[in-house]
Amino acid sequence: MTSTQRAQALKLLGARSMMRLKDFAARGIAPETLARLVRDGTVVRPARGLYQLADGAVDARRTLAEAASLVPKGIICLVSALQFHGLTLQMPSSVWMAIERTAWRPRINYPPIRFVRFTGSALSEGIKRHRIEGVEVAITDPARTIVDCFRYRAKVGIDVAMEGLREGLRQRKATSDQLWRYATKARIWSTMKPYVEATAADGA
């Protein structure tokens, strides 16, 4: 990414607030330039093909803290956890949160929360607690998050699960052994194995 392209992209976003991918392309700004701006947190992608400065968007971490405050026993997971760990360019429109299978499902207007159900060891294994905006937030760790995305691929999309896998291995935030351990317990390793082996062989 050239400094010229980066500076031009930021100048355009500063003047127009939001821009589409094709508008950047028309000005000679490569998609990879935007992808790197998203990865370093300078720019966010609130929807597919749409970009804006991070300073002009709702802080995603604050939204997680708000959700955790409203549902203290909830666990941030799936796409929201991928985004927290920097393993996806997606900006989920709702906070993905897991609750216990028999727990009452809270009715919350804001922030929008999309609930899934976890049972047994899934409620404790691979869960890390992070302090965000003074709130303790339970979030699945990178390897666990990737495995969960494959488990719930019908909900999040196999493309999102694959993006998390590639980035997790590339950024060394998850190892094949960690993925195998979580996936075996979740009985999803037979599904994940060819994806993990192919991604690892390609150097992530």
The answer to whether 134 and 173 have CB atoms below 8 angstroms apart is no
The residue segments making up the domain with residue 24 are: 3-56
Q: Please check whether residues 52 and 79 belong to one and the same domain.
A: no
CATH assignment at residue 33: 1.10.10
What is the model's pLDDT at position 187? 94
Same domain as 167, residue 123: yes
Two tokens at 146? 């990737």
What is the mean pLDDT of the segment spanning 131-151?
A: 93
Do 85 and 108 fall into the same domain? yes
| 105 and 190 both lie in a single domain | yes
Q: For residues 29 and 103, state if they share a domain.
A: no
Residues 32 and 81 placed together within one structural domain of the fold: no
| Full-model pTM | 0.71
**In this structure, what are the phi and psi dihedrals at residue 30, rounded to the nearest 5 degrees?**
-75, 150
User: Do residue 64 and residue 48 come from a single domain?
Assistant: no
- The H or E element that residue 21 is part of is helix 21-26
Q: Which of 13, 33, 56 represents a domain boundary (last residue)? A: 56
Q: Domain check: are 117 and 182 in the same one?
A: yes
| Mean pLDDT for the stretch of residues 89-104 | 90
Among 56, 72, 99, the domain-final residue is 56
Radius of gyration of the chain (CA): 18
DSSP 143-173: HHHHHHHHHTHHHH-HHHHHHHHHHHHHTTS
- Strands of the chain, DSSP E: 18-20, 43-47, 50-53, 75-76, 95-100, 113-118, 127-132, 135-140
The verdict on 41 and 64 lying in the same domain is: no
Domain endpoint, select from 28, 56, 84: 56
Distance CA 148, CA 185 (A): 11
pLDDT of residue 23 exceeding 80, the answer is yes
Q: Are residues 51 and 103 in the same domain?
A: no
Count of domains for the chain: 2
Q: DSSP state, 17?
A: S
Q: How confident is the model at residue 135 (pLDDT cuts 50, 70, 90)?
A: confident
Residues 20 and 65 in one domain: no
How confident is the model over 156-174, as pLDDT tens digits?
999 999 999 999 999 999 9
- What backbone torsions phi and psi does residue 88 show, to the nearest 5 degrees? -155, 155
Q: Please provide residue 128's backbone torsions phi and psi, each rounded to the nearest 5 degrees.
A: -115, 150
Number of CB atoms found within 10 A of residue 42's CB = 15
- For residue 204, pLDDT over 60 is answered with no
Spatial distance between the Cα atoms of 139 and 1, rounded to a whole number of angstroms: 32
Tell whether 32 and 75 lie within a shared domain. Answer: no
User: Region 11-32: what's the mean pLDDT?
Assistant: 84
pLDDT in tens, 78-88: 999 999 999 99
